[in-house]
A and B are shown apart, each in its own frame.
Chain A
Amino acid sequence: MNADLHQLAAQSTPTAAMIKTLGLVSAICGLIIVGAYQLTFDAVADNKRIATERAVFKVLPAAKSIAEFVALPAGGMEKIGTGETPAGAVKFFAAYDGDGKLAGIAAEGGAKGYADTVRIMFGYQPECQCVVGIGVVSMRETPGIGDKILTDKDFLANFTELDAKLNAELKALANEVKTVKHGSKTNPWQIDAISGATITSRAVGKAINDSAQVLLPKIVPALEQLKAKS
Chain B
Amino acid sequence: MNVTTTRGWDEFMEGIWKQNPTFVMILGMCPTLAVTVSAVNALSMGISTALVLIASCGLVSMMRNVTPKEVRIAVYIVIIATFVTAVDYAIQAISLALYDALGAFIQLIVVNCIILGRAEAHAAKNPPIPAMVNAAGMGAGFTIGLLSLGVVREILGAGTLFGVSLFGASFQPWVIMVLPPGGFFVLGSWLLFFAWLERRKQRKLAETAENV
Contact = CB atoms under 8 A, between A and B. Distances in A.
Interface string A135-149: 000100011110000
A13 interface: yes
B69 A43 contact: no
Contact of B89 (A13, A17, A28, A40): A40
B166 to A, nearest CB: 17
B92 A21 contact: no
Contacts of A21: 63, 66-68, 71, 75
Nearest to A33: B85
Interface of A: 7, 10-11, 13, 17-18, 20-22, 24-26, 28-29, 32-33, 35-37, 39-40, 43-44, 47-48, 51, 138, 142-145
A29 B78 CA distance: 7
15 contacts: A10-B70, A13-B69, A13-B70, A22-B71, A22-B78, A32-B83, A33-B85, A40-B89, A43-B94, A44-B92, A47-B93, A51-B96, A138-B100, A143-B157, A143-B175
Nearest to A24: B66
Q: Which 8 pairs, one residue from A and one from B, show the smallest C-beta to C-beta distance?
A: A43-B93, A36-B86, A29-B82, A144-B175, A10-B69, A40-B93, A13-B68, A40-B89
Interface of B: 37, 59, 63, 66-71, 74-75, 78-79, 81-83, 85-86, 89-90, 92-97, 100, 157, 173, 175, 178-179
Contacts of A7: 69
A29 B68 contact: no
Contact of A25 (B69, B79, B95): B79
Contacts of A29: 78-79, 81-82
Interface of B is mostly: helix
Contact of B86 (A20, A33, A51): A33
Nearest to B55: A32
B12 to A, nearest CB: 25
A47 B69 contact: no
Given A13-B70, A21-B75, A32 B86 contact: yes
Given A18-B70, A22-B74, A29-B79, 19 more contacts: A7-B69, A21-B63, A22-B71, A22-B75, A24-B63, A32-B82, A33-B82, A33-B86, A36-B85, A36-B89, A40-B90, A43-B93, A43-B94, A47-B92, A47-B93, A48-B96, A51-B97, A142-B175, A144-B175
B68 A17 contact: yes
A7 B66 CA distance: 14
A194 to B, nearest CB: 15
Nearest to A50: B96
A50 to B, nearest CB: 8
A27 to B, nearest CB: 11
A7 B96 CA distance: 48
Contacts of B95: 47
